[in-house]
Amino acid sequence: MPNGSLDKYIFEPQEGSVLSWAQRYKVIRGVAAGLLYLHEEWEQVVLHRDVKASNVLLDADMNGRLGDFGLARLYEHGANAYTTHVVGTLGYLAPELSRIGRSTTKTDVYAYGALLLEVACGRRPIDAKAPPEEMVLVDWVWDCHARGQIVMAADSRLRGLYDMGEMEAVLRLGLSCSSSAPEARPSMRQVVQVLDGDAPLPELGLGQVNNDNASRRVYVEDHVHSYPSSMDQGSFASSGGGGTGGGVPLSPLSLSLLSERAGR
């Protein structure tokens, strides 16, 4: 892709290369459409399993296309996904993966929620150099939400040049996708409907904040301790039970087709 990956524009932009809010919104809408295609519209269900900013590629028109299907697995619609390996990148891994080691469409949704927050806030999901209360991005956004100031989490480099309603929608949607309870996360179809203005914003109860944050902090602290090298960009694969990893790896032809169609 001529413009490389999204992460360099979000985390370490060069002078004059800060993405506008309109560009960011277009990117997250495009990635959402790609995940919807993978989860519901292809002939089989495809789990990407490594959704993150460095795997979002930007074309000449700054459209976001989901790339790197190296960890992807597929299974039949209506079947249960199974896996005994934890794969992905710290900060994008759903909490249940450390317990059951099973990737599902909802674990992809969790990773997409982390992507929404980092695009809106201009920060990585985990920043070991930040103050303790801000180290985990989703916790910090929850705290802003609890104070009734969720838009305060917006990337300061945008200088306030964004649609207030869209910013709030993206931040709240990011929190909804990042719920510690898989059943509380929306499907990618619901995500696309919210981004298109065809569905209402998810309700976020303040009582959910403490439970989610406590669960996430235990999970993050454990994995930061165990996988310090994955704090920034690296992905890891950890065997949770000695199986084959579950699902079916994608063939080179399938990889090529999905890379093209998921970035529609």
Catalytic residues: 50
Rounded to whole angstroms, how far apart are CA atoms 71 and 50? 7
Tokens in use for 211? Answer: 């439970």
CB 57 within 8 A of CB 34: no
Helix axes 137-146, 164-177, angle to 10 degrees: 120
Helices (H), 147-187: 164-177
Tokens of 139: 């916790």
DSSP 213-252: HHHHHHHHHHHHHH-GGGSSS--EEEESSSS--SSEEPPH
Question: Residue type for 153, please?
Answer: A
CA 258 centroid distance within chain: 18
Strand partners, 56: 66
Sign of CA dihedral 93, 95, 99, 100: negative
Give the 3-state secondary structure of residue 85.
strand
**Residue indicated by tokens 């790339």:** 67
